[in-house]
Structure formats: structure tokens, C-alpha cells
């Protein structure tokens, strides 16, 4: 029998279900299950890892089924793919009714922690706007922007080497007493 998800994940799944309904698409049982597995992990999860977890619950879960499901979830903006890790993360905004990320693909920036692997999603429209403006100067029209930055999260920062985050320019210096 399938393990239960956390309450947070269940809450997001219920909203994702409703969001899909409003768009005239269906969050089938399998789609819900895979979305739940992705939302429930703190770190990005790869397609084969998902497949392994599914196989524990149901026999015959095949890679094409998982890939098709992932495509659907990506299309609906419920998850994102991190290209450099070839792994998936849930989009909390995409699974939240009435959030600013009103569905489908949205511009996002990801901060990937090198130590704990946690991923923080940001939706900074200034970043997308600056890129779009720069691209237009070369006659290029950007359709979707995904920015992936690597560094250390604030929990890992004290254990990591500070020099590793030399590129955190523009961020306010942390105040310590």
C-alpha cells in the first residue's frame, strides 16, 4: 500500500487537483502519486529514483509512463526540471490556488545548495525582465528562462567555506551580533 504523504504535501496535492480541474485536465491517480513523491522530498529527485519508489508500490511501472507523467506535471507548472541535476522539484507556487505563478511554465530561478542539496525557488521578475531586454537587443525573443545557481544555503553556510559563495553579490550582507 502506498505510504502517506505529509500534511503539507497532501494540502498541495488537493490544490493541484483543483487547479487541474479548472484547466480542464485531470490529475489522475498516478500523476497525483508522482507529484506527491516529488513534493514530499526536500531535495530534487530523478526520474529513475521515482520509478524505483513507484515499483515498490505497483508492478509494471515503466519509464515511458513516468516520463509522460513528468511531462504533464511540467506542462502544468506543478514541478520544475533542474537541468544541471537532471532532477525534478515540486513548485509550491504552481500547486497553490491563486498564487502569482498562475500556472503553466513560469520563469523561475533556483538556488541549489552544494552541501545539503536543497533547492530554493525564487520568482524574481527583475531577473527575467533583464534577460528579456538583453536578448531583445540581439533580436532574440525569450520564451522561458530557468536560472540555476549553485552555492550554500543559510543552514550550510557556517559549515561551508565562505569563499565558495563569493558570487553572492547584490545580496545584503548578513548582520551578525
Q: Can you count the helices (H) and strands (E) in the chain?
A: 5, 5
The angle formed by the CA atoms of residues 34, 38 and 40, to the nearest 5 degrees, is: 115
- Closer residue to Zn ion in complex, CB, 54/152: 152
- Closer residue to Zn ion in complex, CB, 51/121: 121
| Residue from the set 39, 87, 91, 119 that interacts with Zn ion by CB under 5 A | 91
- x/- mask, Zn ion, residues 41-80, rule CB under 5 A, reads ----------------------------------------
Pairing of strands 87-90, 146-151: unpaired
To Zn ion, the closest distance from the beta carbon of 59 in angstroms equals 33
- x/- mask, Zn ion, residues 134-163, rule CB under 5 A, reads -------------------x--x-------
- x/- mask, Zn ion, residues 97-136, rule CB under 5 A, reads -----------x----x-xx--------------------
Please answer whether residues 12 and 93 qualify as being in contact, where contact means their C-beta atoms are separated by less than 8 angstroms.
Answer: no
Could you tell me what percentage of the chain is helix, strand and coil, using 3-state DSSP and rounding each to the nearest 5? 40, 15, 45
- Closer residue to Zn ion in complex, CB, 38/108: 108
How far apart (Å, rounded) are the C-alpha atoms in residues 130 and 128? Answer: 6
Residues 6+ apart with CB under 8 A from 174: 154
To Zn ion, the closest distance from the beta carbon of 58 in angstroms equals 28
- C-alpha grid cell, residue 120: 530554493
Which residues would be at the binding site for Zn ion (CB under 5 A)? 91, 94, 108, 113, 115-116, 153, 156
Amino acid at each position: 500500500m502506498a505510504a502517506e504523504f505529509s500534511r503539507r504535501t497532501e494540502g498541495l496535492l488537493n490544490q493541484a487537483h483543483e487547479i487541474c480541474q479548472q484547466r480542464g485536465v485531470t490529475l489522475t491517480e498516478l500523476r497525483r502519486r508522482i507529484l506527491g513523491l516529488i513534493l514530499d522530498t526536500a531535495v530534487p529527485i530523478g526520474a529513475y529514483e521515482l520509478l524505483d519508489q513507484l515499483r515498490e508500490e505497483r508492478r509494471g511501472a515503466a519509464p515511458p509512463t513516468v516520463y509522460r507523467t513528468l511531462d504533464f506535471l511540467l506542462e502544468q507548472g506543478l514541478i520544475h526540471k533542474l537541468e544541471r541535476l537532471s532532477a525534478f522539484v515540486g513548485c509550491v507556487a504552481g500547486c497553490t490556488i491563486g498564487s502569482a505563478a498562475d500556472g503553466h511554465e513560469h520563469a523561475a530561478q533556483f538556488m541549489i545548495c552544494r552541501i545539503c542539496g536543497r533547492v530554493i525557488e525564487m520568482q524574481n521578475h527583475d531577473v527575467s525582465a533583464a534577460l528579456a531586454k538583453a536578448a531583445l537587443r540581439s533580436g532574440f525573443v525569450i520564451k522561458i528562462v530557468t536560472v540555476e545557481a549553485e552555492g550554500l544555503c543559510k543552514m550550510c553556510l557556517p559549515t561551508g567555506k565562505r569563499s565558495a559563495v563569493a558570487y553572492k553579490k547584490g545580496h545584503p550582507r548578513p548582520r551578525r551580533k
